[in-house]
Amino acid sequence: MNPVTTGEIKVRTLDPEKDDLHRAANLIFQVDPYICPDFFGDSERAEKMGPIIFGEEGGLFDPNHTIVAEEDGKLLGILVYADNTIKPWNTEEVKQKVEALDIEMPEYFDRANKNYMEAVVEDARTLPDGVAEVEWCATDSSARGKGVASKMFEKFLALPYQEQHLTVLADNPPAINLYKKNGFEIVSTQTGYPDDSVETHNMIRKNPNHEIKNQ
């Protein structure tokens, strides 16, 4: 049973030296019902991967581009974003690090590692200057309804980007409504990972506080 927390919810940048990286990875596991089981396998393996995916700068899980919400020292939410400064995703290196953990490799790890993780990073590296993309956003099930995601988005949207992008599952109305409330608009719909049966929306928000200049 999850402990009851009563403190103030604080939103800040992830601190890989002090924060529970196992917990951070567990939150990431809750983001998507297709990608995360493929890449992590299950929540227990996700927790074991935490120090690998958050323990170094650069890559998809860059601590400097990771916003967390915590209450009484417990991480309740996570938001990972990227821009064109992100480092390349080395699929072989990532696989070797996971294999070194001596855990059972997820059945579809290679598919997610290559076709999603690497693909997302390469896409982010092509973003124009001044544009950021939300890659992962999750609130722990024990903290739903406490405004955790809204608080994380408030911090993210205050960053000095001219535009913010994200992709959301079309069958996730609560998330879509949250993004619309924060100024995002659906600009296109496509089928996504892992196959054509999964529909996703691409959403964009233009920051009214920053003038977009021609590059």
Domain range for residue 13?
A: 9-206
Q: What is the pLDDT of residue 57?
A: 59
Specify whether the CB–CB gap between 60 and 86 falls below 8 A: yes
- How far CA 34 is from CA of 51, 86, 101, 108, in Å, comes to 22, 24, 23, 10
Domain total of the chain: 1
**Under DSSP, is residue 185 helix (H, G, I), strand (E, B) or coil?**
strand
Q: Give the number of other CB atoms < 10 A from CB of residue 8.
A: 8
Q: What is the reported pLDDT for 213? A: 43
Find the CATH number of the domain harbouring 69.
Answer: 3.40.630.30
In a domain, 3, yes or no: no
User: Along the 215 residues of the chain, how does pLDDT read in single tens digits?
Assistant: 333 344 799 999 999 999 999 999 999 999 999 999 999 999 999 999 999 999 765 567 999 999 999 999 999 999 999 999 999 999 999 999 999 999 999 999 999 999 999 999 999 999 999 999 999 999 998 888 889 999 999 999 999 999 999 999 999 999 999 999 999 999 999 998 999 999 999 999 998 765 544 33
Please check whether residue 152 lies inside any domain of the structure: yes
Q: Are 104 and 45 in contact (CB under 8 A)?
A: yes
